[in-house]
Structure 1
Amino acid sequence: MQNDAPAYGLWGLVALNSLLFVAFAFSFFKPQTTRDWRSFSAFSAFVVALFVEMYGFPLTIYLLSGWLQARFPKVDLLSHEAGHLWWTLTGRHGDPHAGVLHIVSLVFIGLGFWLLSAAWNVLYHAQRRHAMAVSGPYARVRHPQYVAFVLIMLGFLLQWPTLPTVLMFPILTVMYVRLSLAEERESEQSFGDAWRNYARATPRFVPSWRLRRAA
């Protein structure tokens, strides 16, 4: 697996891709409150950390270079293909972009951004009416925007896992869970029984068709 083209030190690509994905997420999420900005900033940090390793400096490859070189002596660790660690660790050859994991990762990322967009559209109109958001994605889960962020991050991890992002993922997931609980307390104070009835009929993160039909 040899490649003469430079795979790293491409800081222009780091900046471009980071800006692109952060701006894309911003256009769908549109943070307004302090809580919104906190969750969006955490997601942005994940994206920047990812692209720094994807195109800037391969910290994970560097830290694992001894073990990787001993196990895969014929692999050019500084090639772009080697950065797709799941591809490298399973001993695959060829273009990793055609692999199943890469395709699944794109599905997760695309689904996450679609969910962000659909959820924001419902939430925006609900806030203008001073009502609860209960239609669209909110008819299936109570926090579709946080689910979207997790899907996008999971998609990136399937495509290009790094030590920083692997460590950040569970921390950010726990943070989103805590933020969702705080939001639910505020919603219950604002909407009372209407919120409690909605919460009983709608799962927090994972859709349940059986529970929805029963409600």
Structure 2
Amino acid sequence: MSGLEKGIDVAALVYAILFFPAPLFWLIVHPAIHFWRRFGNRSFWIAPPLWTASGTGLVLARHRIFAERVGRSPLSAIVGAGLVLLALYIGHHVHRQFGLRRLSGLPEMNPARYPGGVVSSGIYARVRHPRYLEYMLTFVGLALLTGAVGIFLLAILTILLYLIVAPLEERQLREHYGSEYEGYARAVPRFLPRLRRFVKTPTG
């Protein structure tokens, strides 16, 4: 294995440690959002043990994660790199449009202190959950780059988790913003952008 391939493996493992717990966190929070909001910012104290447990498990299982390889080829490397670059492009626009406070979920956990609103401009004019799309594309891209069965499994599980988390989040947004978010949701797809240009809706 070349130094580049080892580096990609390390990058894939680090990415999994940092971002795989994210949908697990929201899977805990969104179904009981009113309960967690009682604690305000203190609700985020559930994150450290979750990330620690997940990260420890991934580190301990790292040899199994990379033990088996499938489909590693120049074509898969090109496609994988393309998906990672696309994810970086999406992430750049998300970060430019939103600050760290909003991306960290503060308006959801503590709306009284950090009020939000329906955003239908920029990257959010193309898909409703570009941040989740970024995570999914990155995991799939890293799976193709490494060819590791374990990373493929993490990518599949990540996609499945976000397919559950996104509707839970949208239920909360519909409850909070009513017809404004309902109209946005009808106009903009959840994950996959339409080929035609987005017809602009009012911003919140």
TM-score (norm 1): 0.58
Task: Tell me, yes or no, if structure 1 residue 103 matches structure 2 residue 78.
Answer: yes
Residue number in structure 2 paired with 1:78: none
1:4-15 → structure 2 map (5 Å cutoff): none
1:212 aligns with 2:198: yes
Equivalent residues in 2 for 1:1-215, closer than 5 Å: 17=11, 21=15, 34=29, 52-53=62-63, 58-60=66-68, 85-87=70-72, 99-124=74-99, 130-210=116-196, 212-213=198-199
For 2:75, the aligned partner's letter is V
Q: Over the residues paired in the alignment, what is the CA RMSD in angstroms?
A: 4.3
Partners of 2:75 and 2:9 in 1: CA distance: 28
**Which whole-Å CA distance do the structure 1 matches of 2:138 and 2:10 have between them?**
18
In 2, the alpha carbon distance for the partners of 1:123 and 1:204 equals 18
Deviation at 1:25, TM superposition (A): 6.6
Rate the CA distance shift 1:176–1:111 in 2: closer, same or farther, 3 A: same
Question: What is the distance in 2 between the residues matched to 1:194 and 1:23?
Answer: 36
User: Between the two proteins, what is the percent identity of the paired residues?
Assistant: 21
> Structure 1 residues 129, 120: CA separation in 2 closer, same or farther (over 3 Å shift)?
farther
* TM-score, normalization by structure 2: 0.60
Which fold has the larger relative contact order, with Cα–Cα distance below 8 Å and residues 6 or more apart in sequence?
Answer: 2
Structure-2 change in CA distance of 1:105 and 1:204 (3 Å)? same
Aligned mates of 2:8, 2:77 — CA distance in 1: 20
Give structure 1 stretches of 5+ with no counterpart. Answer: 61-82, 88-95
Give the whole-Å Cα distance in 1 for the aligned partners of 2:191 and 2:129. 6
Which runs of 5 or more residues in structure 2 are unaligned?
Answer: 31-43, 108-113
